[in-house]
Amino acid sequence: MGKLLVKLITFFLVIYVVAALLPAVRITFSYALVTTLLIAGLDWIADRLLLPHLRNVVASATDGLSAFLILWIADLFAPNSAVTFTYLLLVGVIIAGFEFMFHRSLFKIENYDRKGA
């Protein structure tokens, strides 16, 4: 559960802070919260299904692409939001990078636990 909480907090901060840094982007708190929950939920499912069978790079790229698509689709349905391609790309790349490092740390922790140390 702690791992999911780390993802939720990180994704929310990335979505919200990148939006704050780009003047053309306008999102609401609820947009950031709902998209964070959708992205984290989908990534959690994808990590369970894809990560054991694919390399970390592919799984992380898939996570970044899913973030890009979820934010783009959410923008289509959110009347008070305005996102740019640059915003979508930045958030997708940052989330993919975070996921790559997050997966690597999980592998190290899991391997450490399996060795019984």
- Measured from the Cβ of residue 29, the count of other Cβ atoms closer than 10 Å reads 9
Q: What is the mean pLDDT of the chain?
A: 87
Q: How many residues does the chain have?
A: 117
Q: Which residues contact 24 (CB under 8 A, 6 or more apart)?
A: 82, 84, 86, 87
Question: Tokens representing 62?
Answer: 């898939």
- Position 17 confidence tier, pLDDT thresholds 50, 70, 90: very high
Reported pTM: 0.86
Q: Which tens digits make up the pLDDT trace of 18-58?
A: 999 999 999 999 999 999 999 999 988 888 887 778 888 88
Q: How far apart are CA 93 and CA 48, in angstroms?
A: 21
Determine the pLDDT at residue 110. 53
Determine the pLDDT at residue 36. 96
Determine the pLDDT at residue 95. 96
Query: Is a pLDDT exceeding 70 seen at residue 112?
Result: no
